[in-house]
Structures are given as C-alpha cells and as structure tokens.
Amino acid sequence: MKKITLLSVLASTLIFAGGDITPVVEPMVPTPSFEEVDTGSTGIPMGIALLGGVMLTDEDDAEWNPIYGAEFSFKCLLSDSVRSQVQFTNYDEDNLKMMQLSLNPHYIFNQGSTVEFGVGPHVGIAQVEVGSEDDIIYTYGAGASVTANLTEHFFLGAEARYEWTTETTFANVDTNFNNAKVFGKIGYSF
C-alpha cells in the first residue's frame, strides 16, 4: 500500500509540473524529425559492389593471381568523412584457397566530388585451405581507394591494400599468408 501511495504522489507531481522538460545534455547525434524520415531525406548512404582483381602472397616465386568478391559500404554514423566497407573475397589458386571477410573504414578526401580518395586500416578473418588442411587466421593492414561516381547511383572504384596475417601451421611448418591486393569494383549506391 505504501508503494502504491508513493508512486501515485510521484506520478501526480510529474503530471502537474507541466511545461517542457529539456534535457541537460544535448544528444551527440542529431535525431531526424518525423517529416525528414517520411520524405526519405535522411538515412545512411549505402552501396553494394562487385569486386575483381589480383592478389600476390609473400611466398618466393609468387605470382599475381585472381580474386573476386562483393562489398557492402556505408557512411559512418559518427563521421560523414568515413566510409566503412565490409568485403567478402575469394582466392583459389593451385593448392591455396582463402575466403576472407574484412572491415575497411576509409577516411574520404574531397568528399562529394565526382572522384573521391580514401585511406584507412583493415581488419579481417579468413579461412585458409592448403591441400586437405584448413585453419582460421586473422588479417590486418592498410589500404587506399579511389571512387568515381558515374551517375547519382552507379560508381566505379579501385583499391590497393597490404595485409599481414596471423601465423598458422600447415604440414608441421609455421607460415603466414601476408599479401598485397589490387582490385576494381563496380557498384550501386542508395
């Protein structure tokens, strides 16, 4: 009974206090009004793209071999100058197969221009198969990108990246799969 009485007094005090209650701290991210959401004028710019290019491992006598994949990109919520890219790539050559999922946030220079340049770090995870053995490794590195907006929605791009990988053991030999990648992309932004 005491709890109900106390809650009733508290609720009636808040109801009769009236007036606007203003927050003491302003929000860090501006919240859109209902009108902006209804007209579709707000939202996070996103894009999808197909990737194709080449990869060179650090092995002796290694050659550039094809890779392909897909990308989902979006503007960072905390900064308009950062575009994050989630990429899936596949490499399959000779005795080595590598499927990789990576996150690549790039700081974008001359944003809003027809041609934009970006640089940033890379982190990822990959499943590597050598012969009949397989293992999961982690990757990290840095890269640079260029994107050309062909129309309001279609774009072309290119990216170069160097990756270091964690060590793993195949056939009782400790090894890594450090590599360089260069690839192009064609995509659609929405």
- Mean predicted lDDT score pLDDT of the chain: 85
Above pLDDT 90, what percent of the chain?
62
Greater confidence (94 vs 36) lies with: 94
Whether residues 102 and 34 share a domain: the answer is no
Please, are residues 73 and 97 in contact by the beta-carbon 8 Å criterion?
A: no
pLDDT beyond 60 at 41: no
Whether residues 24 and 105 share a domain: the answer is no
pLDDT beyond 60 at 36: no
Q: Which domain holds residue 176?
A: 46-189
Whether residues 109 and 53 share a domain: the answer is yes
Whether residues 29 and 61 share a domain: the answer is no
pLDDT tens-digit map of 58-94: 888 889 999 999 999 999 888 889 999 999 999 999 8
pLDDT tens-digit map of 107-119: 999 888 899 999 9
Whether residues 28 and 62 share a domain: the answer is no
Number of domains in the chain: 2
Whether residues 35 and 53 share a domain: the answer is no
Instruction: State the amino acid at position 88 in one-letter form.
Output: F
Whether residues 121 and 183 share a domain: the answer is yes
DSSP state of 26: -
Whether residues 107 and 23 share a domain: the answer is no
Q: Where are the beta strands (DSSP E) in the chain?
A: 46-57, 65-75, 82-93, 96-109, 115-130, 133-149, 154-165, 168-170, 173-175, 179-189
pLDDT tens-digit map of 134-149: 999 999 999 999 999 9
